[in-house]
Structure 1
Amino acid sequence: MTMNRAVFIPGPIGAVEDPTTILRALIFSSDLSFLMEAHDGLSAAIATQAGFKGLWASGLSISSALGYRDANEASWTEVVDVVERMADASGLPILVDGESGFGNFNNARLLAMKLLQHGGAGVCLEDKAFPKRNSFVGDHHPLVDIDEFSGRLKAIKDTTGDDLLLVARIEALIAGYSLDEALRRADAYADAGADAILIHSRKSDADEILAFAKEWQTLPIVIVPTKYYRTPVSAYRDAGISTVIWANHAMRAAVAGMRAVCARIAAEESIAGVEPEVATLDEVFRLLGYDELAAAEDRYLPKH
């Protein structure tokens, strides 16, 4: 299956290359790549302006922005809608957090097909039972059987082929299993058609991640250093890791910023004090391409 999707983005970005091709180049690059979390069109546009080459559509962040908990409370259709807005606002390739597939193999392949149709460049599936919960909440994280999860991966690959990058996320270390179990799952998921492996950890150091990378070099390795953030990036380069995902910081920054501004306005009963500390409306207009709309009006609307 080959679609060769060129995407047209309204506003200042214009036509962009097939997003899956770009994401694949990032994941398979010999240089360390970085994906920035986004959770709506605005955060996607900001990440683009900052210079990131690809985005991570975070399940935690999208759920939080929608007012849900990261426990499969947001539906896959809601996630697809958000991804479409992110794609339109950024023009960047998006690796989508597909949770555990929102059900069995059939749900997983339907999700993958819809993401492909609505701007996703890749999907990342984790080997937890449905419904899943955030990896950093609690200690109960049951995993699905290797063969069952491999079936979900095969179903996605058979449905989307190489048109959608497929990342298999291993939660064995999160669930308290050994490195050997993580390696066993990585081998199985590679055989099932995964393009890359995401190995996840909740420890405050990267030791078990680096141990995995030392033992397993079959496919590109993707990591999420939310908890082991003090590890220098040079360690990942030295370990041959492919891609680092900054997984939730735009959402967390938004929470902190909005909380501070709302509290101050409520206390001062005025916006005068916060006005110099927030983005101007002109900045917002530039970010979202209002100038393109004005130019289009001059071109397409009748002159009076």
Structure 2
Amino acid sequence: MSGLYSSTVSPTDRRKRLREGLNSGSIQRLPGAFSPLVARAIQEAGFEGVYVSGAVVAADLALPDIGLTTLTEVAHRARQIARPTDLPVMVDADTGFGEPMSAARTVSEFEDAGIAGCHFEDQVNPKRCGHLDGKEVVPTELMVRRLTAAVNERRDENFVICARTDAAGVEGIDSAIERAKAYADAGADLIFTEALHKPEEFEKFRAAVDVPLLANMTEFGKTELLSAQTLQDIGYNAVIYPVTTLRIAMGQVEEALKEIDETGTQTGWIDRMQHRSRLYELLRYEEYNAFDQQVFTYSVDTYDPNN
């Protein structure tokens, strides 16, 4: 990662990397990033990709995940998150932000933002969180129209279009499998099987569907949390951890704020914080310093670790 302001790996090369990874036999792990800095940390930790969750984008705006965010907001945030990482970025496109024509525009916007792929779901618009009860799914024919519009708008053949089905929790797993087959026939490169419960259901889906599959390992939902190795052994090609980093961060933020309110100081949290020196490493402060010594004067040899 040599560029100071953005990755020097082209969007097309990152899309190719995602496609190659999906067909490599090694599961592609995509933790969710709630900020560009988290995306950089995901890369440094050795993961294969980055995920941008619609629920997280909404939560970051203090909104529930019920289809309130717009294409403009999601594309803007996705572009920011994709900028500092060489990894492919997959984005949650909800129901396509409208009718099939809107799904087509979504692909165009995401391609322009340097995104490697996105997924569309078959819920009614506005959608709700995939692990809540009371979901509704559109007829298969309408979802096929969404996907066809998205596929036809794609300019870079390497851009990955994923189809998410929420039908397992509404119509049963057999219906979800039939929908997945129809979505693959419509051009979906990857199928996202939402809210399956047990390993046996993942196995049943894998046995029935030929295209690459993505699993969602989100906490506090309906799905038993399975390891990446277990999913790979079942035959899944990718796994996302959509809200994990946000939940970790917000859990710590709330605990720390409570203690600061009670004690009047943050000193009890010093050892649990990311150190300033580590933050500066992630920010590549030294490289900016080398770029222009007259502007950036920070040095790892002279800074005061107590400030």
Question: TM-score normalised to the size of structure 2?
Answer: 0.88
Whether 1:151 aligns to 2:156 is no
1:223 is matched with: 215
CA distance in 1, matches of 2:99, 2:117: 19
C-alpha distance after superposition, 1:216-247 (max 9, x if no partner): 2x210111132434434443223211111122
Secondary structure at the aligned position of 1:38 is classed as coil
8 Å contact from structure 1 (residues 9, 16) kept in 2: no
Q: Do structure 1's residue 279 and structure 2's residue 271 form an aligned pair?
A: no
SS at match of 2:120: strand
Q: Report the equivalent of 2:96.
A: 101
Answer yes or no: is the 8 Å Cα contact 1:196–1:219 preserved in 2: yes
Which residue of the other structure, out of 163, 166, 174, is the alignment partner of 2:161?
Answer: 166
Segments of 5+ residues of structure 2 without an aligned counterpart are 297-307
Write the distance in 2 (CA, Å) between the matches of 1:233 and 1:120.
23
Aligned partner of 2:20 in structure 1 is 25
Assess, with a 3 A threshold, how the Cα gap between structure 1 residues 202 and 191 changes in structure 2: closer, same or farther: closer
* SS of equivalent to 1:194: coil
Query: Separation in 2 of the partners of 1:230 and 1:95?
Result: 21
1:178 and 2:172 equivalent? yes
Q: Residues 261 and 142 from structure 1, CA distance in 2 versus in 1: closer, same or farther, beyond 3 angstroms?
A: same
Aligned with residue 29 of structure 2, among 25, 31, 34 = 34
Q: Give secondary structure in 2 for the equivalent of 1:273.
A: helix
Amino acid at match of 1:211: K
Q: SS at 1:15's partner residue?
A: coil
1:152-301 correspondence runs (5 A):
152-161=146-155, 162-175=157-170, 177-201=171-195, 203=197, 205-216=198-209, 218-226=210-218, 227=221, 228-298=223-293
| Residues in 2 aligned to 1:268 and 1:54: alpha-carbon distance in whole angstroms | 40
The corresponding residue for 2:51 is 56
C-alpha distance in 1 between matches for 2:286 and 2:25? 38
Contact 1:174 1:201 in 2 (8 A): yes
Paired residues of 2:7 and 2:83 also in contact (CA < 8 A) = no
Tell me which amino acid in the other structure corresponds to 2:164: R
In terms of mean alpha carbon deviation, does 13-22 or 186-195 score higher?
13-22
CA distance in 2, matches of 1:94, 1:250: 16
In the TM superposition, what whole-angstrom CA distance separates every residue of 1:124-167 from its partner, at most 9, and x where no partner exists? 11111110010122x21111111111111111111114142100
| Helix, strand or coil at the partner of 1:283 | helix
Gapped regions of structure 1 (runs ≥ 5): 1-6
Distance 1:134 1:142 in 2: 11
CA gap of 1:285–1:249, structure 2 versus 1, over 3 A, is same
| SS at structure 2 position matched to 1:119 | coil
Secondary structure of the 2:83 match is: helix
Aligned to 1:121: 116
How far, CA to CA, are the matches of 1:93 and 1:238 in structure 2?
23
Residue 89 of structure 1 contacts residue 288 of structure 1 at CA under 8 Å; is this kept in 2?
Answer: no
Q: Among 6, 10, 19, which residue is 2:4 paired with? A: 10
SS in 2 for 1:68: coil
Q: Deviations over 1:256-275 (max 9, x none)?
A: 11111111111111122222
Distance in 2, Cα, partners of 1:87 & 1:147: 33
Note if contact 2:43-2:85 (Cα within 8 Å) is conserved in structure 1.
Answer: yes
* Identical counterparts, % of pairs: 26
1:250 & 1:263 partners in 2: Cα distance?
20
Of residues 260-269 and 228-237 in structure 1, the stretch that sits farther from structure 2 once superposed is 228-237
Secondary structure in structure 1 of the residue aligned to 2:32: strand
Name the counterpart of 1:3: none
CA drift of 1:27 comes to 1.6
CA contact under 8 A between 1:116 and 1:163: conserved in structure 2? Answer: no
> How many residues are aligned here?
290
Distance in 1 between residues matched to 2:152 and 2:35, nearest whole Å:
29
